[in-house]
Amino acid sequence: MALFKRRSTPEGAEGPEEGMGLTDASDAVDEVEDFEGDSDEDAASSARPAFDRTDGPFDESESDLADQDVPRLDLGSLLIPGLPGIGVQVEADPSTQQVRAVTGVGDGAAVQLQAFAAPRSEGLWDEIRAEMLAELAETAGAKVSEGEGSFGPEVRGMLPARTPEGEQVTQPVRFVGIDGPRWFLRAVFLGRAAVEPDPNDALHLLVRQTIVVRGTSAMAPRDPLPLTLPAQPVTAEEEIEEAERFTDLDPFERGPEITEIR
C-alpha cells in the first residue's frame, strides 16, 4: 500500500500506486479550470495556509525574504539551501531516471522534500492529513497520531517499512505539510528529527529556507512539480566552492525515504 496514493479511480480503471494526483481526467479538467479562473484577489482572500510562512518556506515571489547569504541548489521546482553538515541526495526513479524527491541528511536524521501543485482557492494539507490518518489506521503494525509542530499540524508515527536492501524495519516518521500559493510542500522527517524534533536544527532550517518555484503552467492539483538535476560542472572558482557545500548529489542513489508500507 502506498502513502499519498492517488484517490480511487472509477471501477475498472487503473491508477498509479504512488504520487499525489486527481481521481480522473474529468476531475482534472474541473480543478484546472477552477485554478485558471480564480483571480489573485480571490486566491488571497480564500487561501487557508496551515501556518504562517513568514519565516519560510518561501514562494519564488517571496525569495527576497529568504536568507540571501545562503547558497541554493537549483533543482527546478525546489531551490534547496546549502547548510553546513547537511548532505543533499537527489532521488530518481531507476527505470526512468526522473527525479522525484530530494533529501537532506545529517547527524542521524533526514528530511525528504517533494512539492505538488495545489488549487488557488484552498490548501491541500488538511484534506491529505485526514486521508493519511484514515489509511494508516488500517495498516498493520502502524502507530500514528496527529499533533502540532513547528510547521503546524503534522502526522507522527512508527511505520513498518522496507530498506532499499529489502529488510523489514520499523521507522519513526513525521509528516509535515505546508500550503503555499498554488503549491503544497511535503516534508517527511526521519530518524532523530522524527523522534526528538528540534525546530532550530539544520534540517528544520533547510525546510524553512527552501524556495518553491511553482511556474505558470496549469497543473492538476496533487500533480508533482518537476524536479531537475543542476547543470554540471561549473568552472568559476567561487561557484565550485559553493557547490562543494552540497554533498552526495547522486541521481541514481536512493536516499532515506518512506514510499511504501507493507
Q: Would residue 148 be called left, alpha or beta, if left means φ above 0 and alpha means ψ between -120 and 50 degrees? A: beta
Per-residue confidence (pLDDT) for residue 229, from 0 to 100: 86
pLDDT band at 92 (very low <50, low <70, confident <90, very high): confident
Reading the block at residue 194, the C-alpha cell is: 522524527
**Does position 157 have pLDDT exceeding 80, yes or no?**
yes
Per-residue confidence (pLDDT) for residue 251, from 0 to 100: 31
CA dihedral 224, 113, 209, 83 (to 10 degrees): -140
Q: What is the mean pLDDT of residues 155-182?
A: 92
pTM over 0.85: no
Per-residue confidence (pLDDT) for residue 35, from 0 to 100: 37
Q: How far apart are CA 193 and CA 154, in angstroms?
A: 13
Q: What is the mean pLDDT of residues 134-153?
A: 92
pLDDT band at 260 (very low <50, low <70, confident <90, very high): very low
Q: Is the dihedral of CA 253, 224, 218, 181 positive or negative?
A: negative
pLDDT band at 218 (very low <50, low <70, confident <90, very high): very high
**Does position 246 have pLDDT exceeding 70, yes or no?**
no
Per-residue confidence (pLDDT) for residue 241, from 0 to 100: 40
pLDDT band at 232 (very low <50, low <70, confident <90, very high): low
Q: What is the mean pLDDT of residues 226-235?
A: 71
Q: Which of 7-16, 124-133, 171-180 has the lowest mean pLDDT?
A: 7-16
Q: For residue 105, how many C-alpha atoms fall within 13 Å in the half-sphere facing its CB?
A: 15
Q: Which of 137-146, 209-218, 248-257 is most confident?
A: 209-218
Q: For the chain, what are the domain ranges?
A: 25-243
**Separation in Å, CA 171 to CA 55, 162, 175, 208:** 29, 9, 12, 24
Per-residue confidence (pLDDT) for residue 161, from 0 to 100: 85
pLDDT band at 83 (very low <50, low <70, confident <90, very high): very high
Give the contacts of 23 (CB within 8 A, at least 6 positions apart): 6, 7, 8, 9, 10
**One-character DSSP codes across 172-192:** EEEEEEEEETTEEEEEEEEEH
Average pLDDT, the chain: 76
**pLDDT tens digits for 20-63?**
333 233 333 333 334 344 444 443 334 444 468 999 999 999 99
